[in-house]
Chain A
Amino acid sequence: MAEPVIKVEQVHKWFGSHQALAGIDLSVMAGERIVVCGPSGSGKSTLVRCMNGLETMNAGKITVNQIDLAGGSAAVEQVRKSVGMVFQQFNLFPHLTVEENLCLAPTRSLGLSQANAQERARKYLERVHIPEQAGKFPLQLSGGQQQRVAIARALCMEPQIMLFDEPTSALDPEMIKEVLDVIAELAADGMTMVCVTHEMGLARAMADRIVFLDEGQIVEEAPPSEFFKAPKSDRTKQFLSRILQH
């Protein structure tokens, strides 16, 4: 039996007196695609942000490729090199061109030469279907294009795992599809992914497993077929009936 690439054990997280995560256990195997959903404030974002050390947990343990995230800044750095992240607000560097955004971390963090980094940047810009935007600044692009650049930027580090934190929530409805298509293509290529999203269409199409969170706890964990057709818990049924009405 292979070891999971991400192993979350009894993770607790408080923000002041508010408990965001209340004892989460989750394992992600290599090549698996997990969709995390749940109502606002259920702890979905906090959970993925704990997986690359952007949030520190108060109790519990997370290992990524057998590296314990509690093992100090060197361990966190090592984990981050193998884990790419895409944010809701894109968080592109506005003072750098698209190409510079893509080349910065590979050259400074992985030690690639400028030429190699640029070659990589071209490769992944083609993968997200916007090679022609390399010379532009992020604010000259549409939201959908910016998010695709952000995905390419994460891919330029050639990570084993990709984390998506509501990648389409800040986008105009018209832009959502182009970003979802790119994510679905990545999933089809066998990338290990953990994706927080409200896009149930995406969940149905690409997820191996859907994890439903409420009040910091995993309420239900099931493959999409089961999750949508035969949810076990009442909380899941309630959630699904509300978001699938539209």
Chain B
Amino acid sequence: MVAVAVVIAGAVWLFGNTLDNLANRGIASGFSFLKSTAGFGISTSLIDFSEASSIGRAFWVGLLNTLLVSAISVVLATILGFAIGIARFSKNWLLGRVATVYVETLRNIPLLLQIFFWYFAVLRALPGPRQSYDLAGWFFLNNRGFYIPKLEIIDGGGWVLLGAVVMAFLAFWQCRHKGISRSCAGLAVLLFISLLAVGSVSVPALTGFNFTGGTVLSPELVALVIALSSYTAAFIAEIVRAGVQSVPRGQIEAADALSLPDKDRMRFVVIPQALRVIVPLLTNQYLNLTKNSSLAAAIAFPDLVSVFAGTVLNITGQAIEIIGITMAVYLTISLTIAFSMNIFNRTTAMRGLSS
């Protein structure tokens, strides 16, 4: 009882003290600053933003950029991590060695340094637009970023597309146990036709000194995505390796005795059982990656920390509210990832184990 009273009294004193100090220094409190005009620009934004937009909108820009970087990097890190983790078991000596060197190099160099490497030593050092690296005439890489084709959809076409995707998903869900390949082909045709009806592809092209058409991923975004995904992939590769090794020897012998081809043995017997070990550890890596994306501030990529807990904090000085909101946002993102991964674990990875 006494302890509780002391804690409550301490909290009340802290709260009062803080309010007094803020008032003494003329720092406003409360959340009204979110409505005031930003007065600064943001280089990369998924939604419309200008100096006249509100600070609240700047928050959303930062949050969406954080989510964008994290989502792309999670997908790439997972693909790369699984590929490298499995490559470490390769019978091909060279492939196995390359995978080992990759893991040992990438996971033993600080992430911040790797971000600097990709940003300053690689992407900033690329040639200008006129000497861009040209990939198949669709993709261009130069010191202004990575130019990619863009899908342009006519007004209202988004709804048609959304409808097609939902129908495709429902149809796939219905027949996922039956002839999968045939239904997949049908769905692909359906999606393709609806895309042709409502969309067109804009390809970037060099006109004068710069590119027009398509869309551009900024060098900051590209450097951050490469660094985050390649770094996390090294850890995921180790997790995948541990998972594969955790599958009992007898399972592999049973698959061999049934003359299951090597790749099918991996795909249908080893990986599904390895997931029991992999998924919980993978969750940690996804959380780390998302939190590490805040290192974006170091190369001035406008993520949530850079924009909101950086620029906005400097302008308004309302540290308590801003840091509080930022922490709450990361907590929410992390808990959401952990929650979804737990569901995936229960429904997929633990199949056959929980009755």
Q: Which residues of A contact B (CB under 8 A)?
A: 52-54, 77, 80-81, 83-85, 87, 89, 91-97, 104-105, 108-109, 114, 137-140, 153-154, 157
Q: A95-B352, A96-B352, A137-B355 are in contact. Are A85 and B260 (CB under 8 A)?
A: no
The interface residues of chain A lying within 8 Å CB-to-CB of B4 are none
Query: B331-355 interface mask toward A, CB cutoff 8 Å, 1 = contact, 0 = none?
Result: 0000000000000000000011101
CB distance from B216 to the nearest CB of A (A): 44
> Residue B254 at the A interface, CB < 8 A?
yes
> Residue B259 at the A interface, CB < 8 A?
yes
| Neighbour of B254 across the interface among A81, A92, A114, CB < 8 A | A92
Binds A, one of B121-129, B261-269, B320-328: B261-269
**In the complex the two chains form, is B258's CB within 8 Å of A157's CB?**
yes
**In the complex the two chains form, is A157's CB within 8 Å of B254's CB?**
no
- Closest B residue to A77 by CB, please name it: B259
Q: A91-B250, A109-B264 are in contact. Are A153 and B352 (CB under 8 A)?
A: no
**In the complex the two chains form, is A93's CB within 8 Å of B259's CB?**
no
**In the complex the two chains form, is A104's CB within 8 Å of B260's CB?**
yes
**In the complex the two chains form, is A95's CB within 8 Å of B273's CB?**
yes
> Residue B20 at the A interface, CB < 8 A?
no
Complex Cα gap A77–B253 (Å)? 13
Q: Could you list 9 further interchain pairs (A-B, Cβ under 8 angstroms) beyond the known A54-B256, A105-B255?
A: A83-B257, A91-B250, A93-B254, A94-B273, A94-B353, A96-B352, A97-B352, A140-B355, A154-B257
> Residue B272 at the A interface, CB < 8 A?
yes
Q: A93-B269, A95-B272, A139-B352 are in contact. Are A87 and B259 (CB under 8 A)?
A: no
Complex Cα gap A77–B264 (Å)? 14
> Residue B251 at the A interface, CB < 8 A?
yes
CB distance from A119 to the nearest CB of B (A): 15
**Dominant secondary structure at the B interface:** helix
| Neighbour of A108 across the interface among B256, B260, B351, B352, CB < 8 A | B260
- Closest B residue to A157 by CB, please name it: B258
**In the complex the two chains form, is A137's CB within 8 Å of B352's CB?**
yes
Complex Cα gap A92–B255 (Å)? 9
| Neighbour of A80 across the interface among B179, B259, B353, B355, CB < 8 A | B259
Q: A104-B258, A105-B258 are in contact. Are A139 and B272 (CB under 8 A)?
A: no
Complex Cα gap A140–B351 (Å)? 12
The interface residues of chain A lying within 8 Å CB-to-CB of B257 are 52, 54, 80, 83-85, 87, 154
Q: A108-B261, A109-B261, A137-B352 are in contact. Are A91 and B256 (CB under 8 A)?
A: no
The interface residues of chain A lying within 8 Å CB-to-CB of B251 are 91, 93
The interface residues of chain A lying within 8 Å CB-to-CB of B264 are 104, 108-109
CB distance from A106 to the nearest CB of B (A): 9
CB distance from B77 to the nearest CB of A (A): 25
The interface residues of chain A lying within 8 Å CB-to-CB of B261 are 77, 108-109
Complex Cα gap A108–B272 (Å)? 16
CB distance from B312 to the nearest CB of A (A): 49
- Closest A residue to B256 by CB, please name it: A54
The interface residues of chain B lying within 8 Å CB-to-CB of A94 are 273, 352-353
Query: B267-293 interface mask toward A, CB cutoff 8 Å, 1 = contact, 0 = none?
Result: 011001100000000000000000000
**In the complex the two chains form, is B259's CB within 8 Å of A138's CB?**
no
Q: Which of B253, B264, B273 has the most CB of A within 10 A?
A: B253
| Neighbour of A109 across the interface among B248, B258, B269, CB < 8 A | B258
**In the complex the two chains form, is A138's CB within 8 Å of B352's CB?**
yes
**In the complex the two chains form, is B253's CB within 8 Å of A87's CB?**
yes
CB distance from A163 to the nearest CB of B (A): 8
Q: A94-B353, A139-B353 are in contact. Are A80 and B254 (CB under 8 A)?
A: no
**In the complex the two chains form, is A154's CB within 8 Å of B352's CB?**
no
**In the complex the two chains form, is B258's CB within 8 Å of A153's CB?**
yes
**In the complex the two chains form, is A87's CB within 8 Å of B258's CB?**
no
The interface residues of chain B lying within 8 Å CB-to-CB of A105 are 255, 258-260
Q: Which of B250, B251, B259, B261 has the most CB of A within 10 A?
A: B259
Complex Cα gap A157–B258 (Å)? 7
Complex Cα gap A53–B179 (Å)? 34
| Neighbour of B268 across the interface among A81, A89, A91, A104, CB < 8 A | A104
CB distance from B119 to the nearest CB of A (A): 43
Complex Cα gap A95–B258 (Å)? 17
